[in-house]
Amino acid sequence: MKKNYLLLCCLIALLGSCITEKPSTDCLEKVTLQFIYKADGTRNVVEKYLNCAMLLVYNENDQLVFQKSISSEELTKEHQFSMYLPIGHYNIVCWGNSNKYTTFCNVENRKTALVSCPSFVKGESIPTNDHLYYTSKSLEVEYKKENQYSLEFTSAHIDIDVFVRGTESDPYIELDNVMPQYNIHMEEAQPFTAKYTPDVYYCGEFKCFRSTLAVFRFQERCPLILRVYIKEKQDPIEIKMSDVLKESEDSRPIATRQEAKVSVFVDYNENNLSIYTQVSDWDEEFVIPEIE
């Protein structure tokens, strides 16, 4: 009986050590992944938008068995990423652009894993999220098969670009009622109650103050409120994001866009307040109104 128990323990240890980037035993099968992102087009442009990724592999019991940071070269279509897994069923999850403003919590189990900004976990002021992208795939690793799979990313963020003109001192900007945390499969894990306070800097090109941030995805009827505090005005300037989206000249719903940016320009001049907004693709420049 004792011999059988020892044999079972050795077998479990052997299988648990099989998962790796390079083969070390005969129990492994090569798995090749190709990463794809098409933005709002039809071509694979993953190298234009993603510079790294976090790969997590879960077994059929939702336990994490492999985790690796993927480089920009491994993400591109010319450099496919390969790893070696024992035969079996797996759930693969990958988050692109997980950098300074991304942390993963409770990743040991797929059902408890969470994604957010480190500041949110620490209870600190949240400046922004990374420009995150998400993909996942359920797959079966089979004996002596090619085991080649494609993973297509979807955007997990929306850009917010705020311009403020007409104040001599730095404005204070906050975005309220933001959803601050996803589960590992890009599903909302928190209510829309968080407050983001992005950095503000003077933009010499546009001769105004500017603040840029990225937040997790939201819909047209979202509760997000942008507040701009300037020294010359006692009360904050409040802008409802749902109004901005409703009044957009672009009829495409923001939920249907992969790449989306909301630009807000606040022009304050001797108690005359003008607000300009635009919903556009991320790389479309906002045209700053001329000073009248």
User: 109-138, pLDDT tens digit by residue?
Assistant: 999 999 999 999 999 999 999 999 999 999
Q: What is the pLDDT of residue 12?
A: 40
- What is the b/e burial string over 82-94, where b = at least 16 CB atoms within 10 angstroms of the residue's CB? ebbbbeeebbbbb
The Cα–Cα gap between 212 and 240 comes to 17
The Cα–Cα gap between 35 and 152 comes to 6
Ordered structural domains, the chain, with CATH: 26-97+132-155 (2.60.40.2100), 158-280 (2.60.40.2630)
* pLDDT value at 78 more than 60: yes
Q: What is the mean pLDDT of residues 165-187?
A: 96
Residue type for 237, please? I
The confidence band for 23, taking pLDDT boundaries of 50, 70 and 90, is low
Of 69 and 21, more confident: 69
- Bridge-based pairing of strands 148-152 and 28-36 is parallel
Is this prediction's pTM over 0.95? no
Nearest CA to 182 out of 247, 105, 239, 253 is that of 105
- Bridge-based pairing of strands 157-165 and 261-269 is parallel
Q: What is the mean pLDDT of residues 136-149?
A: 94
Q: What is the pLDDT of residue 49?
A: 96
* pLDDT value at 286 more than 70: no
* pLDDT cut 90: percent of the chain above it: 74
**Mean model confidence pLDDT for the chain:** 89
* Beta strands, E only, the chain: 28-36, 53-59, 64-70, 81-86, 88-96, 103-105, 114-116, 133-141, 148-152, 154-155, 157-165, 172-178, 181-183, 194-196, 201-203, 208-216, 225-229, 237-240, 261-269, 272-280
Q: What is the pLDDT of residue 168?
A: 86
* pLDDT value at 6 more than 50: no
How much of the chain is in helix, strand and coil states, percent to nearest 5? 15, 45, 45
